[in-house]
Amino acid sequence: MSSLSVSLPYREENTCRFCYKAYPDWKQHITPDHLRPVVQNTEKTLPYMAVVYGEVVHKIPVRPGPEGIAEFKAKVKSLFGFPPDLDFEVTFECKDPASEEKVLLKGLKCFEAATHCAAVSAAKRARGEGSSSWP
């Protein structure tokens, strides 16, 4: 099983099922206003994720989108010596950008949300805000 599958959002995730109007971009609602320009400039604030398998931890850069998820999967397989055709499960542990509470996002279908949370955390570190501890 070596195919990459990326889940497309259900219609209800981005469109009202009653009036069929599109919802506003969710990223704008969870990103503090003063960090939006920094989050969008990933050249200066490249987001990283700590990937843990057993007792081994690696920090890897991440970027959103289908290319980003493909790179993430390939990098994880390479770092931990997984076969190229292996499908693996993940749980992303993130801080909610607004409340700083820990959030668990289960599955690669949550990659976009986890990457955005990582981008907000990187923006906060770049501006000297919040915790500097890693991860």
Distances (CA, A) of 26 to 95, 117, 119: 16, 12, 14
Q: What is the pLDDT of residues 123-134, one digit of tens each?
A: 888 888 865 454
Q: What is the pLDDT of residues 6-62, one digit of tens each?
A: 344 556 667 888 998 988 888 887 888 888 888 877 667 789 999 999 999 999 999
Q: What is the pLDDT of residues 50-99, one digit of tens each?
A: 999 999 999 999 998 899 999 999 999 999 999 999 999 999 999 888 88
Least Cα distance to 129 among 15, 34, 24 occurs for: 34
